[in-house]
Amino acid sequence: MTTSSLIAILLLVLGAAVMSFAVARGRKVGGLVPAELKRRWRAIIGLMFFFLAGYFGLIAVMMKWVACSIEVITGVVFLGGAVYVLIVMDLVRDTVAKMQSSEESLREREKLLRTIIDTEPECVKLVARDGTLVNMNPAGLEMLQAGSLDMIKGKLIYNAVDAEYRGAFIKLTRDVFNGGSGNLEFMVTGLKGRKLWLETHAVPLRNDKDEIIALLGITRDITRRKLAEDALKARTDELMQANERLSKTVQGLTMADEQLKKYSGELERSNRDLEQFAAVASHDLKSPVLAIAADLKLFEKRSRGRLDDESMGLIKEALASAMRLDELVSDLLAYARVGTDFQQHIKSISMTKLLDTVMAGLKEECERAQCKITAGELPVIAADPTLMAQLLQNLISNGIKFHGGAPPQIGVSAERAGAEWIFSVSDNGIGIAAEHHEMIFELFRRVPGGQARKGTGIGLAICKKIIDRHGGRIWVESEHGKGSVFKFTVPA
C-alpha cells in the first residue's frame, strides 16, 4: 500500500470521527433549541451547508494546480468539511445557549412584573383605543366587584363610569392615544351596585416601534377621602351659617350693649342725682327736727307740775317721735352717702384694728347693756375703712339692741374661702324667723312686732349697700328666739 493511500485512509478516519462528533453535537444543539427557535436554527444549518458546498468547490479548483493523488485530495476535503461542520456546530450551540438564557431572563422579568402588578393594592389596567378593557389586576377587579377578568375583559370600561363623569373619561382616553397623559377623579358603579370614588393617572403604553398600543391606568380608591371632604364641606357650611347667625347675634348684642351702656349711664346719673337729693334733703330736715326736739324738751321742762299726767305723757311721746325722726333722717343721710366716690377711698385696712375702733365708740352702749364682745383673728383687706366701720357698728348695735333676757354676747370672726373672706357677726338675741331673712335687708323693712320695731328699717339696708359696693354678699342665718349670725364676704 502506498504512502498516499495510507494518508488518505488516515484523513478519512479522522474526518469520520470529526463528523460523527459534529453530528452528535448537532443533535444536542437541536435538543436545546426551543420550539419557537426551530425555524431560525434550521436556517443556520442551511447556511452551514451552503458554506460547505463553497468549500468543496474551492478544493476542486485547487486540484487542478496541486499535483496529488485523488485519495489524498478526498481525505483532505472530507477532513476539512468535518472540521468546518464542528466549528459551525459550536458556534450554533453558543448562539442557541445565549438565546435560551436571554429567553429565560425575559420570562423571569415578566413573571416578576406580573407578581408586582397582581399584588399591587391599586388598580392597574390596560384599555384599548376603542375603550374596551384589555387587562386588569385583582385590585381593579375587586373595585368593580368582578369575580374574574373574563367577566369584564373586552367590554367597554366606560359603562362602569357614572354618566356625570363618562364624557371626561372618554376625553382622557383620546388624549392618551394622542400621546398625552392626565389625571381624573370620577365615580364608578360596580357589577353589584356598589359606588366608589376613584382617581386615575393614565399614560400611553408603547411597543418597540414607539406605537401607542394601549392606555395604562393606575387607579386608587379615594372614597373615604371624598366622604371626608363632603363631611368637611357640610361641616364648614354649618359653621359658616352658625357664624352668620353668631355675627347677627353679636351685632344685636352690640346694639343692646350700647343701649345698656346708655341706660346704665342714665341710671348712674339718676342714682347720683337721687343720692345727692337724699343727702341734701336729709341734711336740710335735721335742722327743723332738732329744733322741734329742743322746743319739746324746753316745753316739757317748763310744764312740769303745771300739766296733768296725760298731757305730760303726750309731750313725752311727741319728744320721742321727734328723736326717732332725727334718727331716721340720720340713717337716711348715711344710706345716701354710701358709695359716693367709693373707689377713691379703697385702701388696705386691718379689720382687727378697725373693730377696736368700733368697740371704743360703742363702749358706753355696751356698758349699759352689760354686753360682752369677743373676736377671733381678723384679716387685712382692701376696703373703704369708713364704710366697713359703719357696717360693723350697725351689725354689733343690732346685736346689742335686740338682745333677749340675758345680757348680749356678740362674736366676730373670719375665715378664708377661696378668693374671698367670710366674716361672721353672731349674737344671742331674739333671732329672726326664716320668712323674714330676705326682707330685712330692704329699705324701711323691719321684722314685725316686739323689740324689732326699735329700729328705723335702714341699718341693714345700709349694710347690704356697703357690701354690694365691695363686690360681696351678705345674708343671715337665724331662727326665732335662737340668736342670729350675720355673714358677709369681701374679696381676699
pLDDT tens for 220-268 read: 999 999 999 989 999 999 999 988 888 888 888 888 888 888 877 777 7
Query: What pLDDT was estimated at residue 75?
Result: 58
User: What's residue 288's pLDDT?
Assistant: 76
Domain boundary among the residues 117, 139, 161 is at: 117
What total of structural domains would you count in the chain? 3
385 and 368, same structural domain?
yes
Q: How far apart are CA 492 and CA 489, in angstroms?
A: 9
- For residue 452, the model assigns a pLDDT of 44
468 and 370 inside one domain: yes
Instruction: Note whether residue 104 is domain-resident.
Output: yes
Residues 36, 102 within the same domain: yes
Domain extent, residue 185, equals 120-221
Q: Is residue 21 part of a domain?
A: yes
Residues 215, 136 share a domain: yes
- The domain boundary, picked from 117, 151, 168, lies at 117
Which set of grid coordinates corresponds to residue 23?
453530528
Residues 417 and 462 in one domain: yes
Residue 305 CA: distances (Å) to CA of 46, 72, 192, 308:
176, 198, 124, 8
- Do residues 181 and 133 both lie within one domain? yes
Half-sphere exposure of 193 (CA within 13 A, CB side): 0
To which residue does cell 368637611 refer? 232
Q: Report if residue 46 sits inside a domain.
A: yes
How do the pLDDT tens digits run along the chain, 492 residues long? Answer: 455 455 545 555 565 555 555 555 555 444 444 544 455 555 555 555 555 555 555 555 555 445 455 555 555 555 565 565 666 666 666 666 666 666 676 667 666 656 666 777 889 989 999 999 999 988 899 999 998 989 999 999 999 999 999 999 999 999 999 999 999 999 999 999 999 999 999 999 998 888 999 999 999 999 999 999 989 999 999 999 988 888 888 888 888 888 888 877 777 776 666 666 666 666 666 677 777 778 778 877 787 777 787 888 887 878 777 776 766 666 666 666 665 556 667 889 999 999 998 898 888 888 888 899 999 899 999 998 888 988 998 899 888 888 777 889 999 999 999 899 999 999 988 888 888 888 888 876 666 554 444 556 678 888 898 898 888 999 999 888 888 999 999 998
- Identify the three-state secondary structure at position 184: strand
Same domain, 190 and 126: yes
Model confidence over 167-220: pLDDT tens digits?
999 999 999 999 999 999 999 999 999 999 999 999 999 988 889 999 999 999
Whether residue 477 sits in one domain with residue 360:
yes
- Reading the block at residue 79, the C-alpha cell is 477532513
The DSSP 8-state label assigned to residue 436 in this structure reads: G
Do 162 and 102 share a structural domain? no
**Residue where a domain terminates, one of 191, 221, 251:** 221
Whether residues 429 and 464 share a domain: the answer is: yes
Confirm whether 240 is domain-assigned.
no
The answer as to whether 28 is a domain residue is yes
In a domain, 106, yes or no: yes
380 falls within a domain = yes
What confidence score (pLDDT) does residue 488 get?
95
213 and 348 part of one domain: no
Nearest to 381 by CA among 407, 339, 411, 353: 353
The CATH number of whichever domain residue 398 belongs to comes to 3.30.565.10
Q: Do residues 349 and 485 both lie within one domain? A: yes
Whether 441 is in a domain gets the answer yes
Compute the distance between CA of residue 486 and CA of residue 416 in angstroms, rounded to an integer. 16
pLDDT of amino acid 173: 94
